Amino acid sequence: MLLELTDVAKRYGQVTALRGLSGQIGVAGRRIGLLGPNGAGKSTLLKLLLGLTPFEGEARVLGLDPRRDALAIRDRVGYMPEMESYLAGMTAVQLCAYAGELSGLPRAAAMERAHAALYLCGLEDKRYLKVETYSTGMKQRVKLAQAVVHDPELLFLDEPTNGLDPAGREEMLALIADLPARRGVGVILSSHLLPDVERVCDEVMVLAAGRLEFTGTIGALRGDSEERFAVRVKDGLDKLAGALAAAGLDARRDGEELSLLLPGGDTDAVFAAARAAGVQIRHLAPLKRSLEAAFLEKVKA
Amino acid sequence: MTAVVLEDVSKWYGQVLGVANVSLTVGPGITGLLGPNGAGKTTLMKLIAGLLRPSRGRAAIGDAAPWSDLAARRRLGYCPEHEGIYEELTGLELVTAMAELSGMSRRRARERAEAALVDLGLADAMNRRLGGYSKGMRQRAKLAQALAHEPEVLLLDEPLTGCDPIARESLVARIRDLGAAGKTVLVSSHVLHEVEALTHDIVVMFRGRVLAEGDVYRLRELIDEHPHRVRVECDRPRALAEALIGEDHVTRAAFEDGAVELMTRVPDKLYDAIPAAAAARGVKIRALTSPDNNLQAVFEYLTEKK
Amino acid sequence: MTPRAEIHDLGYEPYRGARTPPARRFLTVARNVFAVAWGSRWGVKLPFIISVSTFVGASVVMYVARNRLFDMVRERGAPIPRAEQIIFFAFTYGFELAAYVLAAVVACAAVANDLRLGAFQFYFSRPLRARDYLAGKLLGLALVIGVPLFTGPVLLAVVRVCFAEDAAQAVSLLPVIPRAALLGLLGTAAFVLPPAALGALLGRRQPAQALFVVYFVVLTNAALAMAAVLKVPELSLLDVGHDVQVVGRALFGVGGGWPNVGPWPAAAALAVVCALSLAALWWRVAKAETSELGGS
């Protein structure tokens, strides 16, 4: 279990930042997406889990109490901040080795692991350059490397793909997706880009206006159905809709695709209708709502 | 209906190349501008906005050159990527000032600014200082500033970066409305899903040049060095593959549990052949999908190091 | 026997060794301050050159100043300093100059850079408390600035004792060493705390450096001039460097140095400035501990 929360609440004076958070997180998988609009309380939650701010209720991180064992928790957690974060005048290797030492590794071990972490993050040939000379993508990788250097059991990643171009974002996501498999580390990924969360995470927690609106698998949040299908064609979507209606199937047009209910998931009728209408099917699969749509529904409710 | 026209435009900064030999016409509706970092997207936007002068060639809004013709610039709104935002001003003050600079009277500028801000959901915040705005609110203020003087051409550089999903949904809806209203909208973004939600029409910049332009799905069909993959989930994948492997355009079949992934050089033929083969062999198809038919794949294939 | 074959996974291995106790990690911060300062270019080379030449020059002058001849001249009332008083002059005109450069280059930047580059997220997501961070930074700065300002005079004092004519004189000279050490400590505090606090309050290196230089070059001289013009010597207390010198004059029995309000008021003024600086640093760092992480 990565996180256990029981009635966790946090007030700043009159303002309630978090109210009544309860849940067991990290049951189904080791990669958890933390979703929520700005101001939903994500960074407050993070702070209290690391023991940086007092709170009400009970919380456990990796079985430890943030009130009593804050330093032990922080030894076992790696944090990749969203904003720029590095030290002046240090190379990537120095920075990571320093990070390792601050998290309690002896000097020699910290230096070895700094190199390993930078290899892992794909910075092998840029290790000896100062971090301030790095591009956005490279800085992002250093932030990840310094978060894994001390061999944490749990990683908090805050908007790790911010500012990356498509190739850089793909590489970063591949790296993150690979971490649990290679290192057995739990990942909590906070991101506004829900396709990233969909790509990397097994489980999500949705925070809105200080409440935990949902915890569970991504499929459960999307409400994936086995019987509602989406169809896309090469040309003639309306022609196919007509043919389906003739076959007694109710197909709704939704932008460039049709959405229809197929009892028992039987697709034969669709192919038959397409053949009759002379239309080529390019996509036919159970309709997966986007995580984005499901999320907006949860948050606005 | 105003089109943006670029004729053989190049831009150098000293020795550094910004864009090279760009000939492009962007018509009404939304066009996505894609490319890796440093591909020249922002330079291209600034050339169109008249903030940079082409080293060679001609940029035009309708038939006027934005660099020299101020009237042409009034017809366009530019939403820059970086915030040259004045922290001390309120949202309303900023947008009013920008509208006035575009040649509106003070009163009209204020009316339009207010309307634009309310329209973008900043009614409550518009009298507060920009310094206290969140990232999503800043993006909306920047967009309001680009919209207030009712331009025909809109240039939006990374308008969705840093927005949370709620802010993004409302911005996407607003941008789609603008496209539907017949404005010429050029939107750049690093996040391909965002572009996919806006439009199928894209321009891909690569190393300072236009690498590809047009409809995403048509572009995919033009990339023939990457065989098209089609994944079929069915009850007897090997029986289905057996029937299809004889077709000479099918180059490979790979099996998973309850599915087969076929590769073809002629997707059109394969899409026709699959239902036919399934019907002939009595194979029940559960799902037919292609991992290649999205913007991410198209973008990757196009910009792959050659 | 079966031939042996093995493929090693070069991937990332878990760390199974012991971890250092959190209470000692401020030493890591201190060492980092020292290492980064040492790695920067002219900011450290120039003070190094100043310090070494001061040390060598002062040693030579002390060697010469032991000569009996000077004693005779001094007895006739000529203002020639005794050999051990050379330490005070070396401190004031050599080591302090080096410390001044180091304070401007290293101390002003120490906390300011961390604020600007978001480094507090880096520190406080790790097992480090605000007090560990601050203790580490200040210790590191004290080590950097203490090289000229503490080690310099103490070594000179040792050299003076070694130059003694006989054992009896050496013993009588021994108190020079703790006096030099005390002066070094006061100077180090004066050149570490105020500039670091300036950096912490302003949050950026350059304005902090500018203000520090303005203080030392313009404001302090203005305070001394005002003290002279208005005949209010207490105004000179505003000059931290002058306060250190006044205490130093008392320690080494060197007269003059007007406006001189005596060592105790000067030491008190110094203590007040250092305490205020420390309070400002503590306030800023403690605020950063809870506010920086996870953005606003």
Give the residue on C whose Cα is nearest the Cα of A146. Answer: C122
The token duo for C197 is: 């606090």
Yes or no, beta carbons of B193 and A136 under 8 Å apart = no
More confident residue, A72 or C72: A72
Q: How far is Cα C17 from Cα C22, in angstroms, rounded to an integer?
A: 15
Asked which of A148-152, B62-66, C112-116 is least confident by mean pLDDT, the reply is B62-66
Q: Measure CB to CB from residue B272 to each of A39, A169, A280 and give the nearest one.
A: A280
C115 touches chain A (CB under 8 A): no
pLDDT value at C296 more than 60: no
Tell me how far apart the alpha carbons of residues A261 and A258 are, in angstroms, rounded to a whole number.
10
Residue of C13, C123, C125 best to disrupt the A interface, most CBs of A under 10 A: C125
Interface mutation vs chain B, best among A38, A135, A158, A235, most B CBs within 10 Å: A38
SS3 B2: coil
CA angle B35, B37, B41 (to 5 degrees): 55
Where residue C12 falls among pLDDT bands split at 50, 70, 90? low
The most confident of the ranges B35-44, C81-90, C154-163, C271-280 is C271-280
Task: Please give the distance of CA C207 from its chain centroid, rounded to a whole number.
Answer: 20
Site of tokens 């048509």: B218
Q: Which of C20, C118, C293 sits opposite A52 (nearest CB)?
A: C293
CA distances from B228 to A175, B211, B217, B254, B255 (A): 26, 20, 12, 13, 16
- Between A and C, how many residue pairs show a Cβ–Cβ distance under 8 A? 129
The residues near B70 (Cβ < 8 Å, ≥ 6 apart) are B103
- Of the candidates B161, B164, B290, the beta carbon closest to that of A283 is on B290
Chains adjacent to B (≥3 CB pairs closer than 8 angstroms): A
* pLDDT bracket for residue C152 (50, 70, 90): very high
> Residue A40 contacts by C-beta under 8 Å, 6 or more apart in sequence?
A207, A208, A209, A210, A299
Instruction: Give the predicted TM-score (pTM) of the model.
Output: 0.83
H-type alpha helices, chain B: 41-49, 70-74, 91-101, 106-119, 135-147, 165-180, 192-198, 216-222, 237-244, 267-281, 295-303
C3 at A interface, C-beta within 8 A: no
Task: Determine the pLDDT at residue C214.
Answer: 92
Closest by CA position to A205, among listed A193, A219, A221: A221
The answer to whether the beta carbons of residues A130 and A88 sit under 8 Å apart is no
Q: How far apart are CA B270 and CA B279, in angstroms?
A: 14
Nearest chain A CA: its distance from C32 CA (Å)? 8
Using CA coordinates, name the residue in chain B closest to A83: B162
Q: Quick one: which of A134, A188, A186, A193 has its CA closest to A162?
A: A193
Mean pLDDT of B32-46: 90
pLDDT at C253: 86
Q: Is the pLDDT of residue C9 over 50?
A: yes
Task: Check B275 against A299: CB less than 8 A apart.
Answer: no
* Model pLDDT for residues B246-303, shown as the tens digit of each residue: 888 999 999 998 999 999 988 888 999 999 999 999 999 999 998 887 888 888 888 8
User: For B116-155, how does the pLDDT look when each residue is reduced to its tens digit (9 = 90+)?
Assistant: 999 888 888 888 888 888 878 888 888 998 988 889 999 9
Q: Which of A162, A166, A271 minimises the CB distance to B36?
A: A166
CA dihedral B44, B45, B50, B53 (to 10 degrees): -20
Neighbours of B175 (CB within 10 A): 23
Mean pLDDT of chain C: 88
Residue A240 reports pLDDT greater than 70? yes
Q: Which stretch of A278-282, C7-11, C54-58 has the lowest confidence by average pLDDT?
A: C7-11
The three state secondary structure string of chain C is CCCCCCCCCCCCCCCCCCCCCHHHCHHHHHHHHHHHHHHCCHHHHHHHHHHHHHHHHHHHHHHHHCCHHHHHHHHCCCCCCCCCHHHHHHHHHHHHHHHHHHHHHHHHHHHHHHHHCCHHHHHHCCCCCHHHHHHHHHHHHHHHHHHHHHHHHHHHHHHHHHCCCCHHHHHHHCCHHHHHHHHHHHHHHHHHHHHHHHHHHHCCHHHHHHHHHHHHHHHHHHHHHHHHHCCCHHHHHHCHHHHHHHHHHHHHCCCCCCCCCCHHHHHHHHHHHHHHHHHHHHHHHHHHHHHCCCCC
Q: How confident is the model at residue A137 (pLDDT cuts 50, 70, 90)?
A: confident
| Chain A residues touching residue B302 (CB < 8 angstroms) | none
Cβ contacts of A116 on chain C, cutoff 8 Å:
12-13
Residues of A in contact with C109 (CB under 8 A): 88
Question: What is the C-alpha separation between A193 and A173, in angstroms, rounded?
Answer: 12
Task: Decide: B188 and B176 in contact? Cβ < 8 Å.
Answer: no
Has residue A116 got a pLDDT over 70?
yes
What are the contacts of C155-159 at 24+ separation with CB within 8 A?
A: C155/C55, C156/C55, C156/C58, C156/C59, C156/C62, C156/C86, C156/C87, C156/C90, C156/C180, C157/C84, C157/C87, C157/C181, C159/C59, C159/C62
Predicted confidence (pLDDT) per residue in C52-93, tens digit: 999 999 999 888 888 777 777 877 777 778 888 889 999 988
- From residue C130, give the alpha-carbon distance in Å to each of C6, C36, C195: 48, 21, 19
The answer, for C56 touching chain A at a CB cutoff of 8 Å, is no
The C-alpha angle B236, B240, B244, rounded to 5 degrees, equals 165
Listed in sequence order, the residues at least 6 apart from A205 whose beta carbon sits closer than 8 Å to its beta carbon are: A23, A25, A32, A33, A34, A35, A212, A214, A215
Question: In this predicted structure, what is the pLDDT of residue B131?
Answer: 80
H or E stretch covering A113: helix A107-120
Q: Report the alpha-carbon distance of residue B44 to residue B31 in Å, rounded.
A: 13
Cβ pair A104:C119 closer than 8 A: no
Residue with tokens 């995919």: B220
- Residue in A with minimal Cα distance to C296: A43
Q: How far apart are CA A57 and CA C182, in angstroms?
A: 52
Residue identified by tokens 């029409």 is: B201
Q: What tokens appear for B32 in the block?
A: 């996505």
pLDDT one-digit tens code per residue, C216-253 = 888 888 888 888 888 888 888 888 888 999 999 999 88
The tens digit of pLDDT for each residue in A182-232 reads 677 889 999 888 889 988 998 999 998 888 989 988 888 888 777 888 898
State the average pLDDT for chain B.
88
pLDDT in tens, C158-195: 998 888 888 888 898 899 999 999 999 999 999 999 99
Mean pLDDT across the stretch B53-79? 86
Nearest CA in chain C to A190: C294
A52/C289 Cβ within 8 A: yes
Q: Answer for the pair A105, A148: CB distance below 8 angstroms, yes or no.
A: no
Count of A-B CB contacts under 8 Å:
99
A292/B36 touch (CB, cutoff 8 Å), yes or no = no
Contact residues for C85 (Cβ-Cβ < 8 A; gap 6+): C252, C253, C254
Cross-chain residue pair A146–C19, CB shorter than 8 Å:
no
Give how far C114 is from chain A: nearest CA, Å.
Answer: 6
Sorting pLDDT into bands at 50, 70 and 90, what band is A94? very high
- Whole-number pLDDT of residue B123: 87
Interface test with A, best of C115, C209, C292, C293 (most A CBs within 10 A): C293
Check residue B207 and report its DSSP letter.
T
Q: Is A192 helix (H, G, I), strand (E, B) or coil?
A: coil
- Give the span between the Cα atoms of A237 and C213, in whole angstroms: 75
| Length of chain A counted residue by residue | 301
Indicate the pairing of strand A154-158 with strand A77-80.
Answer: parallel
